[in-house]
Amino acid sequence: MAIHLERRQFITLLSGMTIAWPFASRAQQGDRLRQTRVRRIGVLMTIRASDAEAPLRVAAFLQGLQELGWTDRHNIRIDYRLAESDTVQTVAAAMVAGAPDVVLVNGASVLKAVLQATRTIPIVFVNVIDPVGQNFVASVAHPGGNVTGFSNVDAEMGGKWLELLKRIAPGVTEVGVLGTTTLDGSATVQAAIQKIAPPLGVKLIQVTAPLQPPQIGSEVEYVFRTLARRSNAGLLVLPGAFTQLNRERIIALTARARLPAIYPYRYYVTSGGLMSYGVDTADAFRRAAGYVDRILKGEKPADLPVQQATKFELVINLQTAKTLGIQVPPAQLEQADEVIE
């Protein structure tokens, strides 16, 4: 499914959120920008319009732009498009055909699709794993080409996820790893997981995610049933379009199987998951506004270093822990950035 949203339609998804835009601090800069032509920004994400994350990301991006003097329908026009895995290439091609001045994309599969459509229009990405290893950029310091952005996960994060899962559920000796390896760059993360698993006394079980269609497949449900029959099993969910689009189903299957699980982002935990460790996804969109601003003012993506994540948040759902019969260690509760009760 592909969705092309005008600003009025998309902003209705903000669900009553009130956003105060800070004008005063950038007033003079805004006056200068208003004298220039209206610039066009494309925003393409693999996320459903009904997903509560969508308006949060858009609001953060808009706020970042406003702070820099850019106002939608005043000196910029934003073309929002949403796509699922099976339509992303078509949607990307349609967006590029509109010749925007810069495109903001979320995730590796979207970035790949837009790059197939253009090698000249500047692209800013957020939430992409290992952009160098996936050949999106030449290097972190000097991206080259028409792409730069913000990486959300480095390879070592895989080991951190497994360590945190063992701390909250030390009895776990088998862990299913759910995600894809071909479209989202998680192969390097999985290599780190495989390296640390033996010292932690963990046997890994790869859960292969279907690529077409983008919904949970019968083979994945079979693995969940298999894990449920084991008293010492857990689950590690990798970031990516597949797990993002199917997170409600994944959380439901995990609860049914009574598996302790760790997820890459906070919104899994607010939806009922046990714990997460990762970046603030909305904040990445706010930061991306800075690079969009610099590109609109004449800088080239090739000269803007890829920014790597430096701040991560640990979130724990105590209600889910209680349901699973897990007593969260006090030290882990103290380390948590947020505890949901």
Domain with CATH 3.40.50.2300 in the chain: 2-152+281-308, 157-278+313-340
What single DSSP character describes residue 107? S
Please give the CATH architecture assigned to the domain spanning 157-278+313-340: 3-Layer(aba) Sandwich (3.40)
pLDDT, tens digit, 9 for 90 and up, residues 147-165: 999 998 887 899 999 999 9
First to last CA, the chain: 35
What does the pLDDT average to over 133-160?
92
Residues above pLDDT 70, as percent of the chain: 85
**What are the φ/ψ torsions at residue 121 (nearest 5 degrees)?**
-70, 130
pTM: 0.85
Q: Are 144 and 297 in contact (CB under 8 A)?
A: no
pLDDT value, residue 237: 94
Distances (CA, A) of 214 to 180, 232, 270: 11, 29, 22
CATH architecture of the domain formed by 2-152+281-308: 3-Layer(aba) Sandwich (3.40)
Per-residue pLDDT reduced to its tens digit, 289-301: 999 999 999 999 9
